[in-house]
Amino acid sequence: MEKRIGGVTIIVKNRESVERLNHILSEHGGIIRGRMGIPFPESGISVISLIVEGTTDGIGAMTGKIGRLEGVEVRSVLAKEIFSPVD
């Protein structure tokens, strides 16, 4: 299976979407290699940064669901190289 490595940045402006966001991230936990969240209470937002490794379809499915949440923005960048698992 061809995989890509990349980063996903999520900006949460609506605290009411956090529970659903965490559910989506749990559903796609198999492609998340690292996660860092930083709150900005003075601005009323939080930023979550993910390192992902998965197929473009898998990463796109996750970011698509996240992008439909109210008050949540998501952007991703993937390496151009395709990685195959080492046997």
Q: Tens digits of per-residue pLDDT, 27-51?
A: 999 999 999 999 999 999 999 999 9
Report if pTM > 0.85.
yes
CA proximity to 44, closest of 20, 13, 19, 72: 13
Across 48-65, average pLDDT: 97
Q: Tens digits of per-residue pLDDT, 61-85?
A: 999 999 999 999 999 999 988 776 6
Q: What pLDDT, on the 0 to 100 scale, is given for residue 2? A: 87
Give the three-state DSSP class for 79.
Answer: coil
How far CA 25 is from CA of 10, 16, 31, 49, in Å, comes to 11, 16, 9, 12
- Written as six digits, the tokens of 65 are 């669901």
Structural domains for the chain: 4-78 (3.30.70.1150)
Q: Does residue 86 surpass a pLDDT of 70? A: no
Q: Tens digits of per-residue pLDDT, 2-19?
A: 899 999 999 999 999 999
CA proximity to 2, closest of 56, 70, 71: 56
